[in-house]
Structure 1
Amino acid sequence: MSLPESVGNRIRELRKAKGWTQEQLAEAAGLHYSYIGGVERGDRNISLETLEKIILALQVPPFELFQFDENTDRKEIINKLMLLINSRETTELEILTTITKNIVDLIELQQKIN
């Protein structure tokens, strides 16, 4: 798979994780919906400026567009988590991190017991 196809697939995954249509992403990014379709298929050779518009519209860190993982179920869950926490304040992120760590510790403890 080519890089434009991989990035396009990743944009599609992030868009769907947000529950958006191509039209909604296009509107948020200031682009035409048919252009978004071409990007997602890997048909368009997009500029960095256009990529930035899409990243800002999706509200994800730029590296997220290059996180290619073969396990699509796992990736979809991680995408949903990222979108949930991305817009949170630093203090809220610290609280969420502490809670998540406690939950992971409990899961690992339970696995050791069993």
Structure 2
Amino acid sequence: MTNLANLASHVGARIRLLRKNRGLTQEQLGEKVQQPQSYIGAIERGEKNISLDTLERIVVALGVEPGDLFVSYLRRTKKDELEKDKHIDAISLLLRNRPLNEVHIISNLVADVLKALDSKK
């Protein structure tokens, strides 16, 4: 498999993860980006190379940055990384519409929990 095929599969898997985290079906995402559900499915399976225009419409529809589709590409061989990315994205979605002061409080709580976990190692 070539690097391009690996990248297409990775980006497709990331689109699937982000789409599902947002509660969208392939059909709903397709409507948002003006593409048929079958095309979205082919993208998610890494079977289609998409244009930058389509990529831009997908990131806008998902409310993510373009770079979010490439997260962990170099670590893609680790099976747990995709699951980890799923949870990180879900946390990000929970925080996105919260006021800054609440995000700050939650950030401090997370830091405290991580310190406690690290001290037990």
TM-score by length of 1: 0.81
Contact 1:85 1:93 in 2 (8 A): no
The match for 2:18 among 1, 14, 22 is 14
**Which residue does 1:102 correspond to in 2?**
109
Give unpaired runs (5+ residues) of structure 1.
none
What is the distance in 2 between the residues matched to 1:76 and 1:51?
A: 20
What does the per-residue CA deviation read over 1:75-107, in whole Å, with 9 as the maximum and x for residues that have no partner?
111111222334x37xx2453034222342244
User: Alpha-carbon deviation of 1:11?
Assistant: 0.5
1:81 aligns with 2:91: yes
Structure 1 residues 113 and 43, CA, compared in 2 at 3 Å: closer, same or farther? closer
**Higher alpha-carbon deviation: 66-75 or 34-43:** 66-75
- In 1, the alpha carbon distance for the partners of 2:18 and 2:34 equals 17
Question: What is the CA deviation profile of residues 38-94 of structure 1, one whole-angstrom value per residue up to 9, with x for unaligned ones?
Answer: 1111111110000000000000111100012532321111111222334x37xx245
Number of residue pairs the alignment of both structures matches: 111
Any stretches of 5+ residues in structure 2 without a counterpart?
none
Identical pairs, percent: 39
- Alignment match, 1:46: 50
| Distance change (3 Å), C-alpha of 1:95 and 1:42 | same
